[in-house]
A and B are shown apart, each in its own frame.
Chain A
Amino acid sequence: MKFLTSLHILVIAFIISHDVKAKNQIVADLSQENVKITTDFLGAKILLFGAYDGQKGDDIIVVVTGPKGLVTVQKKEKVFGIWVNTKSVNYINTPKYLNISSNRDINKILNQKTQKISEIGLNNLKIRLQPGKKVQKEKEWREALTRNMLKSKLWSLNENSISLNKNALFRSYLSLPSNVITGQFEVKILHYRNSKLISKELSTINVSKSGVSAEIYNIAQNYSTLYGIFAVILAVLVGWGTNLIFRKV
């Protein structure tokens, strides 16, 4: 299976690479566009591959952004000898998944200003504090957000992870951890030449729960009381059943 897919990819890549050469553009595809979270889900690894009209010194940056929303940062302080969450700050518009990969150090590809404008880099995201809230030493909180998102593997920065092949083909792996959030993931593939963006390609990955695990989740959300009653009945039946079995032993 693995061999087949890579062969398949190689063939497609070679065919498209001819087209690309002529038109000064980039084409890319993903090995998987729909990620299903089923009962045996342990995370997913997606191959991103494509062809570009490459010259020596060209660069590729891939930014994958998951659904955005509220992330709360909590701070612990020692109160009577115990570490207690005492303060919290809400960040809105925060991507719950972020993967930035490139073929070499991003600082060598783009200058700081360009990185900021094009929102490339962990510190250049347009993440805002909840409106109306002000925090002292905001930088400390923002750093804590980045550090913890990286630790949870939901954010990652993988410079030098994209391999370029003879200036025509490229490939990169994206890993989605097992605690990944469901929703639509936006994939941006950017092709730079001398720090100038010359072509880009957009794609999406859909992450959704599927099968038994999705059913259970939906029932627990939508028919919560019935779900609770069912959980109790199940436990009663198992308890009673084992008693019957063991009585005969």
Chain B
Amino acid sequence: MYIYLPIAEQPIHSLAILGVGSFLGLIMGLVGVGGGFLLTPIMMFLGIPPPVAVASVANQLVAPSVSGVLSHWKRGNVDFKMGTVLLLGGVVGSSIGVVIFNFLGKIGQLDLVIKSSYVVFLTLIGSLMLSESLNLILRKRKGKVSRGKLHQHNWLHGLPFKTRFRKSKLYISVLLPIFIGIIVGILAALMGIGGGFIIVPAMIYLLGMPTSLVVGTSLFQIIFVAANTTILQASQNQTVDIVLASILLLGSVVGVQVGSRFTNILKGEYLRLILSTLIILVSLKLLTDLITIPSDIFSIIISR
């Protein structure tokens, strides 16, 4: 069944969108990350103009994040203090991101920047995840699983404005999570992502947060970053397609719930192996689009 998207100004098969939404919701429920950074490129592959894809995916991300936070909250897996500090940075960052987005649109390089940021980040995250999960699988086969320290201390923890985060059992500078928030916010607005795939590793490796709290807390801050991006994109660029976002979010919220129910059954490292392969494939496809000679080196933009 085709449905005409009022902002993208083109019809699209609603079942295809619903399917993509549920599939990514499932991944999000299983791994805790992976909504936006796969969804936006897939929307672009389906022919949605990149600016509309980025803004509408930001909109849809709000729903599974709300749903996810509520279930993590029930299990006590959200550090609200850390989440609030991160989201303050995130709101600032995403506002900067929308300004950059506008500027790139004006000079006609938006598509290029969106696509190349995806190539860089997806390749990076994909290969990191791939090597980590392979390592873990190999180590488990050998039967050596070592438990390290709670977290490593490094110079980043020595910055001023030290604050205690009781829930995370951390005493670190408040500047660090704010800074992480800003960077993730900028990327979120530019790429139509919640930033989970950047913020989750950052929380584990840079902040040293306990892994159990990471997913819930990142989802908490994603709600606000995605909401801020949506409102700014809507008011400044009119690129939020509410029909597209609604179909996507209907699929994704169900997917998240189903996925989170299977997290205990499937082994995390195998899951990450599959996901990282998927990420690398998407990034390869985007890279090929950028480096192969286009069928026509000329293209047109019809102003509305």
Contact = CB atoms under 8 A, between A and B. Distances in A.
A82 B243 CA distance: 34
Nearest to B245: A231
A221 B9 CA distance: 13
Given A178-B10, A209-B6, A148 B63 contact: no
B59 A235 contact: yes
Contact of B234 (A209, A228, A242): A228
Q: How large is the interface on A (under 10, 10 to 19, 20 to 34, 35 or more residues)?
A: 35 or more
A216 B242 contact: yes
B296 A144 contact: yes
Given A239-B66, A240-B67, A42 B291 contact: no
A74 interface: yes
B253 interface: yes
A42 B65 CA distance: 33
B152 interface: no
B60 A83 contact: no
Given A144-B298, A235-B63, A239-B62, A82 B246 contact: no
A239 B108 contact: no
Contacts of B290: 82-83
Interface in B201-259: 223, 227, 230-236, 238, 240, 242-243, 245-246, 249-250, 253-254, 256-257
B297 A77 contact: yes
Contacts of A154: 302
Interface of A: 37-42, 69-78, 81-85, 88, 96, 141, 144-145, 147-149, 151-152, 154, 178-179, 181, 209, 212-214, 216-217, 220-221, 224-225, 227-232, 234-236, 238-240, 242-243, 246
27 contacts: A39-B4, A39-B243, A69-B303, A70-B303, A72-B301, A74-B301, A77-B297, A83-B294, A83-B297, A85-B108, A85-B299, A141-B298, A148-B300, A149-B300, A152-B300, A178-B10, A209-B6, A216-B243, A224-B236, A225-B231, A228-B230, A231-B242, A231-B245, A236-B223, A238-B63, A239-B253, A240-B70
Interface in B5-29: 6-7, 9-11
A147 B296 contact: yes
A180 to B, nearest CB: 9
A239 B71 contact: no
A234 B242 contact: yes
